[in-house]
Amino acid sequence: MMNRKINVILTGFGTVGREFVRLLEEKGPTIQQTYGVELQLVGVAGRNGFLYDPDGLDLETLLACGKGSAALDQYAKHHQLSLQETVFCGDVLVESTPTDIVDGGPALSYIMRAIDNQMDVVALSKGALVTAYRDIMNAAKAIKVRVRYSGATAAALPTLDVGMYSLAGCRIERIEGILNGTTNYILTKMHEDRLTFEQALSLAQEKGIAETNPALDISGTDSACKILLLANSLLDTDCTLRDVRIVGVEGITPKDIERSRARGKRIKLIAKAYRESDGVSIEVSPVELEQDSPLAGIAGTNKGVWFHTDLMGTVCIVGGASHPRAAAAAALKDVINLFRRD
């Protein structure tokens, strides 16, 4: 099999972006051998500019420079390069800048410019897709490039791929899921160890599961972004976050947990999108689940998604690690699947 060289441009060299580079370094030879694709990182954009080498950046040196935009400055100094304006001259953009759900942030302009330059896009950040899903998809369709975003739709838990490929030909009637590992961990600890919400959140922060600012997670917004993207992709909606009814987990008390325990049920933060006679409803809220629901037993940082279809019955997928390396692996999977030659 002839290998195909794919030039990769990465925007955002933070926690996940760096993990992605680490995976390119570790898995490069295996990917080449297994899928016939040679992934070459030619550019990385940080806050201060763009590091570019058309012959491929030296991954080992880049990783040794540390993390974040400062690492790019250091690499440039080491190789006597200067940071420049970002150029979109690769085959695929891997977008990993911070998620901005207000206006899409830098990700939106990176993604649009990549599409204009005929590059495929693999997004980890959610902001651009959440705020401008239809614009991005229309632009990609017009230029005939592809956009994938497993990293933005529960990452290591396969959701989008299952809907797009494994359920192709079916009408998906309903999607339900536990799409946020942090809130599931908090609710699990409240149920199993009888912690208060505040205690469970502190524990999640101590363990590095919850971010220092966990607002997006506990308010249900992160889950809302994911179910919104799944609905727009798989249920043909054209919705924005304003169309999603969102209730987070901040208001759950030990009394609520006790009450549901006494009834033999479990409270979970459920994100769902379902067809009704007059359209599709999308919502995120804590729900008391019967013990025999496939989502009830999903514990800790695990996630799960449950599809209801017309032809294939229901399909439930559970698991998928919730950490930056797993998120980077989800983006790598998207890149491989775009270009594989097997």
Active site residues: 226
Stretch that binds ligand NAP, among 96-104, 134-142, 194-202, 232-240 (CB under 6 A): 96-104
* Position with the least CB separation from ligand NAP: 14
Residue 215 to residue 194: CA distance in whole angstroms = 22
Q: How far is the CB of 142 from ligand NAP (least distance, A)?
A: 25
Nearest alpha-carbon partner for 322 in 300, 340, 337, 296: 300
Task: Provide the 8-state DSSP code for 272.
Answer: E
Q: How far is the CB of 17 from ligand NAP (least distance, A)?
A: 6
Nearest alpha-carbon partner for 46 in 25, 24, 18, 19: 18
The answer to whether residue 132 forms part of the interface with ligand NAP (CB under 6 A) is no
Stretch that binds ligand NAP, among 41-49, 51-59, 135-143, 171-179 (CB under 6 A): 41-49
Residue 45 to residue 52: CA distance in whole angstroms = 9
Stretch that binds ligand NAP, among 23-31, 124-132, 168-176, 228-236 (CB under 6 A): 124-132
Among 6, 8, 10, 17, binds ligand NAP (CB under 6 A): 17
The answer to whether residue 97 forms part of the interface with ligand NAP (CB under 6 A) is yes
The answer to whether residue 99 forms part of the interface with ligand NAP (CB under 6 A) is yes
Among 98, 251, 279, 319, binds ligand NAP (CB under 6 A): 98
- Mapped onto helix, strand or coil, the DSSP state of residue 169 is coil
The answer to whether residue 124 forms part of the interface with ligand NAP (CB under 6 A) is yes
Nearest alpha-carbon partner for 225 in 329, 130, 116: 130
The answer to whether residue 12 forms part of the interface with ligand NAP (CB under 6 A) is yes
The answer to whether residue 214 forms part of the interface with ligand NAP (CB under 6 A) is no
- Binders of ligand NAP among residues 155 to 194 (CB under 6 A) are 155
Read off the tokens for 217.
């997670």
Residue 225 pairs with which residues in a beta bridge? Answer: none
Please say whether the beta carbons of 281 and 176 come within 8 A. Answer: no
Angle 324-339/15-35 helices, nearest 10 degrees? 40
What does each C-alpha distance from 4 to 10, 35, 312, 338 come to in angstroms?
A: 19, 9, 36, 12
Binding flags for ligand NAP, 272-311, as an x/- string (CB under 6 A): ----------------------------------------
Nearest alpha-carbon partner for 189 in 249, 117, 264, 270: 249
Please say whether the beta carbons of 272 and 230 come within 8 A. Answer: no
Residue 273 pairs with which residues in a beta bridge? Answer: 175, 282
> Between residues 120 and 252, which has the closer beta carbon with respect to ligand NAP?
120
> Between residues 16 and 287, which has the closer beta carbon with respect to ligand NAP?
16
The answer to whether residue 20 forms part of the interface with ligand NAP (CB under 6 A) is no
- Binders of ligand NAP among residues 314 to 333 (CB under 6 A) are 323-324, 327
Q: How far is the CB of 287 from ligand NAP (least distance, A)?
A: 24
> Between residues 155 and 172, which has the closer beta carbon with respect to ligand NAP?
155
Stretch that binds ligand NAP, among 43-51, 162-170, 186-194, 306-314 (CB under 6 A): 43-51
What does each C-alpha distance from 277 to 98, 142, 194, 280, 290 come to in angstroms?
A: 37, 32, 41, 8, 26
Residues interacting with ligand NAP, by CB under 6 A? 11-17, 45-47, 68-69, 96-99, 106, 124-126, 151, 155, 323-324, 327
